[in-house]
Amino acid sequence: MRNFTEKFLESTIVYNDLSFVKQLVLDYSFEYITLINNAVKFNNLEILKFLLTQPQAKNTLLLNKLLKIAKDLEHKKIETTLSLKIADNLNKVNFSLSSKH
């Protein structure tokens, strides 16, 4: 059974509450990957575009997930230019610089 957080984040996307998503992301960096997954799941391009332009989207742990999302968007024929732009941006990332510990 899904937990409360998953249901809460899903409803935020379903009801297209971009202002609340912004608050979660900017104030709390709250479950970022779950927000992205839900935006894709419910085809909410407005929220997806917002999420993909935030600093958290540059986190190396998210890069593979974002590339998969780009491929999914292209496969579903949902705004192909968005998926190509995401894939193109990911191809420009220098992984060696971002893997510092």
**Three-state DSSP string of 9-72:** HHHHHHCCCHHHHHHHHHHHCCCHHHHHHHHHHCCCHHHHHHHHCCHHHHCHHHHHHHHHHHHH
Arithmetic mean of pLDDT over the chain:
69
pTM for the predicted model, two decimal places: 0.46
CA distance 71 to 54: 20
101 confidence band (pLDDT: 50, 70, 90): very low
50 confidence band (pLDDT: 50, 70, 90): confident
Give residue-wise pLDDT tens across range 16-43. Answer: 778 877 777 766 655 777 788 788 888 8
59: pLDDT strictly greater than 50: yes
Q: Is 99 exposed, middle or buried (0-12, 13-18, 19+ CB in 10 A)?
A: exposed
Give the largest Cα separation in the chain, rounded. 39
5 confidence band (pLDDT: 50, 70, 90): low
Share of the chain above pLDDT 90, in %: 0
Query: What pLDDT does 99 receive?
Result: 41
